[in-house]
A and B are shown apart, each in its own frame.
Chain A
Amino acid sequence: MQERVIEKAAQLLESGACARVLGWKTGEFFYDVTPAVFTSAQQVRQEMVFSPFCGANLSKYLIAESRKEGKVGVFLKPCDSFSFVQLQKEHRILRENVYAVGVQCQGMSDIEALKALGLRGITAVQAEEDRLTVSTLYGEKTVALEEALSLRCRSCKSRALHDCDELIGDQGRDLDTDRFGEVARLEAMSPEERFAFWRSQLSKCIRCNACRNVCPACSCEKCVFDDPNSGVQNKAAADPFEEDLFHIIRAFHVAGRCTDCGECTRVCPQHIPLHLLNRKLIKDMNALYGPYQAGSDFDSKPPMLTFTQEDPEASIITEGRGIQ
Chain B
Amino acid sequence: MQMNQEFKPTIVAFCCNWCSYAGADLSGTNRLQYPANVKIIRIPCSCRLNPMFILRAFQRGADGVILCGCHPGDCHYTTGNYYARRRMTLLFSLLDYMGIERQRTRVEWVSAAEGAKFAATMNDFVDTITKLGPNRRLEDLRCKSE
- Cβ-defined contact, A195 with B100, below 8 A: yes
If A249-B55, A309-B73 touch, does A192 touch B99 (CB 8 Å cutoff)?
Answer: yes
Residues 111-136 of A at the B interface (beta carbon under 8 Å)? none
**Contact across chains for A284 and B93 when beta carbons are under 8 A apart:** yes
Q: Chain B 58-93, CB within 8 Å of chain A: the 1/0 string?
A: 110000000000001100000100110111111111
Interface of B (DSSP majority class): helix
Interface residue tally on A, bucketed by range? 35 or more
Please, which residues of chain B bring their CB within 8 A of the CB of A312?
89
Q: Mark B90-108, 1 if CB is under 8 A from A, else 0.
A: 1111111111111101110
Contact of B85 among A186, A249, A311 (CB under 8 A): A311
Q: Tell me if B96 and A317 are in contact (CB < 8 A).
A: yes
B39 at the interface (CB under 8 A from A): no
Chain B residues lying within 8 Å of A255, measured Cβ to Cβ, are 90
B98:A194 contact, CB within 8 angstroms? yes
Interface residues of A in 197-231 (CB under 8 A from B): 197-199, 224, 231
Contact mask B107-119 → A, CB, 8 Å, 1/0?
1000000000000
Closest-CB distance, A204 to chain B (whole angstroms): 15
CB of A191 within 8 Å of the partner chain: yes
Interface contacts (Cβ under 8 Å), in number, total: 118
> CB distance A252 to B51 under 8 Å?
yes
A311: chain B residues at CB < 8 Å are: 82, 85-86, 89
Contact B72 A309 (CB under 8 A): yes
Verify if B3 is at the interface (C-beta below 8 Å from A): no
The distance in angstroms between the C-alpha atoms of A183 and B79, with both chains bound, is 32
Q: State whether the Cβ of B48 lies closer than 8 Å to any Cβ in chain A.
A: no
A183-B107 Cα distance, complex, nearest whole Å: 25
With A248-B51, A314-B106, A318-B107 as contacts: A194 and B87 at CB distance below 8 Å: no
Q: Contact at B55–A317, with CB atoms within 8 Å?
A: no
Find chain B residues with CB under 8 A from A186 CB: 97
| Inter-chain contacts of B87 with A (CB < 8 A) | 304
Complex: A242 Cα to B139 Cα, angstroms:
10
Known: A255-B90, A277-B98, A304-B90. 4 other contacts (CB 8 A): A199-B99, A252-B51, A280-B97, A317-B89
20 CB-based A-B contacts, threshold 8 Å:
A183-B97, A194-B98, A195-B98, A195-B100, A196-B99, A198-B98, A238-B142, A239-B141, A241-B141, A244-B138, A248-B55, A248-B98, A252-B51, A252-B94, A255-B90, A307-B85, A307-B86, A314-B85, A316-B89, A318-B102
